[in-house]
Structures are given as structure tokens and as C-alpha cells.
């Protein structure tokens, strides 16, 4: 029999708070973390705002020499991991290092390091490139640094699946535990891509909102006036354990991971399948994996990017899977407040989904002002809703046609 898997700890670095409690409070209050870019001069860009992480101080967890050898995406990952382990009341050495795995995600990896070292190459020549360039930049290094800083020696790998990566990582961690390959897995995702090149690249695709005059209103999932997504950054880390292991040590259990679905559109490099078939199939697979009927689902944490195509196609996909029950579901998008964290989005949003189940409060979709006739479901507009949630889905979809859904349940032992 497949082992049951539960969530026992969480850590967050986000545009609306650098710990789980602040993040959750800000979500429930409908606080926007989006504003003008402060990290570099964005005056020459079409989009001059983002959802930046604020007041991040890695020195509370990391030595200064380590900080200098880590890209920000790895710093976010390690700091969030330390928080998650503390939240879980778990020490890797007490579990047994070989029985603790790391399954982590990023969409891009060390983008800031890549840009910085490219400037050095062009301005000063190859002799000035840092010997730490490659191990700071490569996408797997967040997972590597987590293992180095925690001593986890179990299964360790990185998912790089664009904007679906964070959800894929949690789903694959779930599978590692189901198969009995570990007792604990540190999982999630990290991204630090608020950089000039990333902004310029997404702007060239016409993917970003250009609402420069009111950036806090720019991310408006499912609203008729949405004009693109807002780039965000941060990290989300979840501690997953087998249920038996969590019960044996008397751990607090937030929710159960019960189902996972993963598909491809096989359609286009950036646009979703216009029929929403791949997204619908990912949700259907997660339901089947968990043995849950569509009518049992209370809430969906939507991918909800605030782009025209995504929001319309995700709505269509939900209707395909849930039929008439789609109109009874509560649906909301955290991206309205935190922007799009790319490879970290799914992990941070799964933390929000977990807390929705645990706290019985559904965070809102803020900036929902003008309904779109093609997006006609209940998006929990503008104000949080107190509601019992027993079963929830979290969706993530990425460039390349990657689709991932994880199903969470309120734990019943």
C-alpha cells in the first residue's frame, strides 16, 4: 500500500512577508506586495514595477562568506527551509540524514548571478569571472545548498518546469514518500528573477502588465481589465512526512497531500491549449489519485496569472472537470497580491492552500472589479471568506505546456 503523506512545517519568503505568519495575515487582509522596482533602475523598461521581497536579511541564518557564494534564489531557499524545519519541530539528524530528501524547484535559477557575471565578462574580460559563477547560477544549487545546510542525504533532485515547477516538486516529493524512499522530504521552490534581463524578456513577449501608474492594481486575475502578469520573487518550503512518521513523533499536522496530476498540453511554447484539455486532465488525475469525487472539492487555489489567455482557459478547464459543481467552488488567486513567482509560485501557493484548510479562511482575489463574461465563477472577490475547507486543489501551469495539480485534504487519522 502507498504511504499516506502529510504537511508538518512551512517556511515563506514573499513580497508580503518573510515568515509564514506575516505572509498568511497579509493574504487574509488582501495586502498587495506589488510596487515600483527598487533594486535597479527600471526607468527604461515598459514595466517598471514588480513584487519584490522586502527587508530580507540572510545574515540571521547564513554566514557572510556563504551569502557571498549563493545567488539570492538559493539564499531564499535555505532561509525558508530553516523556518520550515523549525515550524515542524524537526531535526534532520534525529530522523536520520539518509531518510530525509530534498525535492526542490526553480524556473530560472541564478538569474542575478548570470547577469552580473555577463556584465563582468563584457566590461573586464574572462579573467575576472568569479570561480563561484557556475555553482551560484545552476538551477539545482538551491536543492544542493539545502542539503549542505541541513545534512539531508536522501533523494535529492530539482524540478525545472517553468511556472509549474513548484507544484511539480511537491507532487514528486509526495511520490518519493509514497514509495517509501524517505520518511521526510524538504520540498518547495525558489525564484529571484526580478532583474533587468528578466523584466526585459517578459516585456518583449508582451506578457507583463504595464499599469505603471497603479502597480498595486496591476495583478487582477479573472478581471475583465487584466493586462498581464506581475513578476514576483521569493520561496516556499514545505516539510512533507509519512503520516506514520509524523504521528510517531507527535507532530502538528496541517493537511494531507492526497493526490497529484501532471500533464502536457503538447500545443505551444507559451500559449495554453485553447480547449484547456491538459489543465483539465491534470486536475482530473489529482482527483483520481486521491480517490476524491469532483463534488467533494471545496476550493481551488488557481494559477490565475492575470493574463487574458490563462485566466480564461483555466476557467474553462475547471468547468470541464467539475461541471455544474464549478459554480459552487470557491476559487482565488494569490498572484493578485504576490505577483507571479515563476518556479516558486506553486510552492508558495500550496502553503496558502494548506493554511486555508488549517485555518478555515479563504484568501481573496484582490483587484477584482469588472467581471469577465468568460470568467464567470466564484473568485472570492476582494475580501477573505471564512469557510470550512476539507478538500482543495492547487493548480500551476507553465510555458511549454506543463500542467500540475496537487490535491490537499484536511487530515483524518
CA of residue 284 relative to chain centroid, distance: 21
Domains of the chain: residue spans and CATH: 5-248 (3.40.47.10), 257-409 (3.40.47.10)
pLDDT of residue 265: 97
- In this structure, what C-alpha cell is assigned to residue 158? 530539482
Q: Which residue has the cell 540571521?
A: 60
* Angstrom distance (rounded) from CA 36 to CA 228: 16
pLDDT of residue 178: 98
Find residue 395's DSSP bridge partners.
Answer: 405
pLDDT of residue 171: 98
In a 3-state reduction of DSSP, which class is residue 145? Answer: helix
* Angstrom distance (rounded) from CA 357 to CA 198: 34
pLDDT of residue 371: 97
DSSP labels, 185-220: EEEEEEE---SHHHHHHHHHTT-B---TT-GGGS--
* Angstrom distance (rounded) from CA 359 to CA 96: 31
How big is the chain, counted in residues? 413
pLDDT of residue 1: 77
Question: Terminal CA-to-CA distance of the chain, rounded, Å?
Answer: 16
pLDDT of residue 46: 97
Catalytic site residues?
163
Going residue by residue through the chain (413 aa), what tens digit of pLDDT does each one get?
Answer: 799 999 999 999 999 999 999 999 999 999 999 999 999 999 999 999 999 999 999 998 999 999 999 999 999 999 999 999 999 999 999 999 999 999 999 999 999 999 999 999 999 999 999 999 999 999 999 999 999 999 999 999 999 999 999 999 999 999 999 999 999 999 999 999 999 999 999 999 999 999 999 999 999 999 999 999 999 999 999 999 999 999 999 999 999 999 999 999 999 999 999 999 999 999 999 999 999 999 999 999 999 999 999 999 999 999 999 999 999 999 999 999 999 999 999 999 999 999 999 999 999 999 999 999 999 999 999 999 999 999 999 999 999 999 999 999 999 87
Comparing C-alpha atoms, which of 228, 229, 268 is closest to residue 400? 268
- 128 Cβ neighbours under 8 A, 6+ residues apart: 120, 121
Amino acid at each position: 500500500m502507498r504511504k499516506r503523506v502529510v504537511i508538518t512545517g512551512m517556511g515563506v519568503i514573499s513580497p508580503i512577508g518573510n515568515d509564514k505568519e506575516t505572509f498568511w495575515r497579509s493574504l487574509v487582509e488582501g495586502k498587495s506586495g506589488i510596487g515600483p522596482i527598487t533594486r535597479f533602475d527600471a526607468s527604461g523598461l515598459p514595466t517598471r514595477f514588480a513584487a519584490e521581497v522586502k527587508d530580507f536579511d540572510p545574515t540571521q541564518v547564513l554566514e557572510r562568506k556563504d551569502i557571498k557564494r549563493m545567488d539570492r534564489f538559493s539564499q531564499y531557499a535555505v532561509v525558508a527551509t530553516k523556518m520550515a524545519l523549525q515550524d515542524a519541530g524537526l531535526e534532520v539528524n534525529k530522523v536520520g540524514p539518509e531518510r530525509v530528501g530534498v525535492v526542490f524547484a526553480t524556473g530560472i535559477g541564478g538569474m542575478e548571478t548570470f547577469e552580473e557575471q555577463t556584465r563582468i565578462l563584457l566590461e573586464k574580460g574572462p579573467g575576472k569571472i568569479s570561480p563561484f559563477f557556475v555553482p551560484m547560477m545552476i538551477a539545482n544549487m538551491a536543492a544542493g545548498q539545502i542539503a549542505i545546510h541541513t545534512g539531508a542525504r536522501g533523494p535529492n533532485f530539482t524540478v525545472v518546469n517553468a511556472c509549474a515547477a513548484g507544484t511539480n516538486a511537491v507532487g514528486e516529493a509526495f511520490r518519493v514518500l509514497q514509495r517509501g524512499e524517505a520518511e521526510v522530504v524538504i520540498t518547495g521552490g525558489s525564484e529571484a528573477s526580478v532583474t533587468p534581463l528578466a523584466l526585459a524578456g517578459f516585456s518583449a513577449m508582451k506578457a507583463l502588465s504595464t499599469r505603471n501608474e497603479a502597480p498595486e492594481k496591476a495583478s487582477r486575475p479573472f478581471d475583465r481589465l487584466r493586462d498581464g502578469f506581475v513578476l514576483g520573487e521569493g520561496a516556499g518550503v514545505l516539510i512533507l512526512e509519512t503520516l506514520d512518521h509524523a504521528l510517531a513523533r507527535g507532530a502538528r499536522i496541517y493537511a494531507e497531500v492526497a493526490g497529484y496530476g501532471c500533464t502536457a498540453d503538447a500545443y505551444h511554447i507559451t500559449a495554453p491549449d485553447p480547449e484547456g484539455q491538459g489543465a483539465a486532465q491534470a486536475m482530473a488525475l489529482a482527483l483520481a489519485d486521491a480517490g476524491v469525487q469532483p463534488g467533494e472539492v471545496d476550493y481551488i487555489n488557481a494559477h490565475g496569472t492575470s493574463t487574458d489567455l490563462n485566466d480564461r482557459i483555466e476557467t474553462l478547464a475547471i468547468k470541464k472537470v467539475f461541471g455544474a459543481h464549478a459554480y459552487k467552488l470557491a476559487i482565488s488567486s494569490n498572484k493578485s497580491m504576490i505577483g507571479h513567482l515563476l518556479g516558486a509560485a506553486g510552492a508558495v501557493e500550496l502553503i496558502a492552500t494548506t493554511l486555508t484548510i488549517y485555518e478555515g479562511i479563504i484568501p481573496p482575489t484582490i483587484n477584482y472589479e469588472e467581471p469577465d463574461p468568460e470568467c464567470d465563477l466564484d473568485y472570492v472577490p476582494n475580501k477573505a471568506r471564512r469557510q470550512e475547507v476539507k478538500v482543495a486543489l492547487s493548480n500551476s501551469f507553465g510555458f511549454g505546456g506543463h500542467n500540475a495539480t496537487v490535491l490537499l485534504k484536511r487530515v483524518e487519522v
